C-alpha cells in the first residue's frame, strides 16, 4: 500500500488529505500541535468567515501572488466561493451570506465544521497524529514525537505547515531552514492582515478599545469601509486589514470620517456656530462619535480655522502610523516558497514528490473569506496532484 503524508493539520493540510483519501493508499496527517487546526479555530471564535459571495473575477483579484498563477485553480476547476459553500454544506453545515457578502455558518463557530470534517477524514481512513514536529530530511521525513524520533518514507508528501504568523498556534516557520537547506527558494516573510503601530498622545487613552465605525480608509485606489479598533498599541481590525498590504508597502493612507457626505455638505455642518461648546463637544455634535473626534484631533493638527478647512481635513485625515505590527500579531503572512520553486501543480522542483499548499506559498489575501478560500483551494490542488502522481506510479 502506498503512503501519502501530509504535514500540517490546518485547512490546507486537511483539504489535501481529503483529496488523497482512497482505498489503495494510507494517508497520514501529522501536526506539531496537540490538536488540529488551532489557528482555524481561533479565527472562527468571533464568527467563521468561510468565503465571500461575489463574482469570481472580483474574488480572485484579491489574491496576490506570482503573475499568471491562479491559486484557486484545481484539477476539477476553480475552487472559489461556490465550491467552498458546496463543500461545507456537504459536511452538514448550514450557511448564510451577510449583507456584505461574507459567508458564515449559521452557528457562526468553526468547531462544528471541524468536528464534521475530522469525522469524515477518519471514516475515510486518514490517520491523524498530533505532537509530531518535522525536524529534518535525513533518509526520509524526520519527526520528534511523544514516542521519540520517527522517520517516515512516504511515496508522496504534501507540506501545509502555514506561514509565520501567530506562532503560538503553530505557524512558526520552523520549516524554513529545512527546505532552504534542500535548495527551495523562499521569500522572506512579512506580516499581512495586520494592524499598525501608533504612538498615541495621552489624550487618546480614553478611547482604547473603542470601535471606529462609519468611516472609510483610502489607500491608493482601494477603499475600506470596515470597522476597526483603537488599541493602546495602534489600530487593528478588518477595516484596516483590507488595505494593510498597500499601507505596509508604502502607500499613503487617509481616513474619511464622513464618507456618506460630500465635502460641501460637511462644510455646512462645520459652519454651525460653536458658541460656548468646548472644541470636543462641538466636533462631537458634527461628527457624532467620540472615536472620530479623537482621531481628528490626534491626526488633524495643525487644526483648521475655517469650515471648509475642517471639512477638507475630516474627508482626508492622514493615517499616521509607526509601521506594521509584527508577525506575532498578524492574522497571516506574505512571503514563503516562491512561485519559481514550484511546478504548476505545486510540486517542489527541488524535491520531486513533495507538494506545498496554504500559507507556505508566497501569496497573500485579505481576510473576509479570501484567505481561507485560497488555503482550501491550494490544499485541494496539492492533494489532487499528489494523488495523480501515486496513480501514475501504480499504472507503471
- Mean pLDDT of the chain, nearest integer: 92
Which parts of 147-225 fold into alpha helices (H)?
176-181
Stronger pLDDT, 355 or 57, i.e. the higher one: 355
pLDDT greater than 70 at residue 69: no
Q: Where are the domains of the chain?
A: 2-190+333-395, 196-318
Could you tell me which of 180, 173, 185, 172 has the C-alpha nearest to residue 137?
A: 180
pLDDT greater than 60 at residue 66: no
SS3 of the chain: helix, strand, coil, percent, to 5: 35, 25, 40
Q: Is 141 in a helix, a strand, or coil?
A: strand
pLDDT greater than 90 at residue 169: no
pLDDT of residue 70: 74
User: Phi and psi (nearest 5°) for 222?
Assistant: -100, 145
Confidence of residue 67 (pLDDT cuts 50, 70, 90): low
Using CA of residue 84, residue 85, residue 87, residue 88, what is the dihedral sign?
A: positive
Confidence of residue 68 (pLDDT cuts 50, 70, 90): low
Query: In whole angstroms, how large is the CA radius of gyration of the chain?
Result: 24
Beta bridge partners of 95: 105
pLDDT greater than 60 at residue 219: yes
Taking the C-alpha atoms of residue 296 and residue 314, their distance in angstroms, rounded to an integer, is 7
Taking the C-alpha atoms of residue 288 and residue 291, their distance in angstroms, rounded to an integer, is 9
Contact 140, 86 (CB under 8 A): no
Spacing of C-alpha 11 from chain mean position: 12
Task: Render pLDDT for 88-127 as a digit per residue (tens, 0 to 9).
Answer: 999 999 999 988 889 999 999 999 999 999 999 999 999 9
Domain 2-190+333-395, CATH: 3.50.50.60
Beta bridge partners of 354: 157
pLDDT greater than 80 at residue 194: yes
Confidence of residue 395 (pLDDT cuts 50, 70, 90): low
Amino acid at each position: 500500500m502506498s503512503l501519502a503524508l501530509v504535514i500540517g493539520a490546518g485547512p490546507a493540510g486537511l483539504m489535501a488529505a481529503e483529496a488523497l483519501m482512497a482505498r489503495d493508499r494510507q494517508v497520514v496527517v501529522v501536526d506539531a500541535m496537540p490538536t488540529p487546526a488551532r489557528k482555524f479555530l481561533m479565527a472562527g471564535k468571533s464568527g467563521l468567515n468561510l468565503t465571500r459571495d461575489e463574482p469570481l473575477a472580483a474574488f480572485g483579484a484579491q489574491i496576490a501572488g506570482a503573475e499568471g498563477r491562479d491559486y484557486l485553480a484545481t484539477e476539477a476547476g476553480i475552487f472559489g466561493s461556490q465550491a467552498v459553500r458546496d463543500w461545507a454544506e456537504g459536511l452538514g453545515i448550514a450557511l448564510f451570506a451577510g449583507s456584505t457578502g461574507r459567508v458564515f455558518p449559521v452557528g457562526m463557530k468553526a468547531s462544528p465544521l471541524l468536528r464534521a470534517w475530522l469525522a469524515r477524514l477518519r471514516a475515510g481512513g486518514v490517520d491523524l497524529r498530533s505532537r509530531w514536529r518535522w525536524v529534518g530530511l535525513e533518509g526520509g521525513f524526520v519527526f520528534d514525537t511523544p514516542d521519540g524520533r520517527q522517520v517516515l518514507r512516504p511515496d508522496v508528501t504534501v507540506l501545509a505547515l502555514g506561514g509565520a504568523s501567530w506562532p503560538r498556534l503553530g505557524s512558526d516557520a520552523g520549516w524554513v531552514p529545512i527546505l532552504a537547506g534542500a535548495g527551495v527558494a523562499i521569500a522572506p516573510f512579512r506580516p499581512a492582515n495586520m494592524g499598525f503601530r501608533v504612538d498615541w498622545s495621552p489624550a487618546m487613552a480614553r478611547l482604547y478599545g473603542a470601535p471606529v465605525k462609519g468611516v472609510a480608509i483610502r489607500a491608493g485606489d482601494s477603499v475600506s469601509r470596515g470597522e476597526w479598533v483603537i488599541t493602546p498599541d495602534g489600530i487593528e481590525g478588518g477595516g484596516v486589514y483590507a488595505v494593510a498590504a498597500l499601507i505596509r508597502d508604502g502607500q499613503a493612507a487617509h481616513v474619511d470620517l464622513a464618507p456618506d457626505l460630500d465635502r460641501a455638505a460637511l462644510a455646512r455642518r462645520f459652519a454651525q456656530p460653536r458658541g460656548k461648546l468646548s472644541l470636543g463637544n462641538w466636533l462631537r455634535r458634527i461628527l457624532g462619535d467620540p472615536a472620530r473626534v479623537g482621531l481628528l484631533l490626534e491626526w488633524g493638527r495643525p487644526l483648521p480655522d475655517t469650515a471648509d478647512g475642517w471639512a477638507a481635513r475630516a474627508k482626508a485625515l492622514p493615517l499616521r502610523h509607526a509601521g506594521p505590527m509584527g508577525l506575532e500579531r498578524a492574522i497571516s503572512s506574505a512571503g514563503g516558497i516562491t512561485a519559481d520553486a514550484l511546478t504548476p501543480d505545486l510540486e517542489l522542483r527541488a524535491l520531486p514528490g513533495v507538494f506545498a499548499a496554504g500559507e507556505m506559498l508566497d501569496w497573500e489575501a485579505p481576510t473576509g473569506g479570501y484567505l481561507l478560500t485560497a488555503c482550501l483551494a491550494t490544499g485541494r490542488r496539492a492533494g489532487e496532484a499528489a494523488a495523480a502522481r501515486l496513480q501514475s506510479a501504480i499504472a507503471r
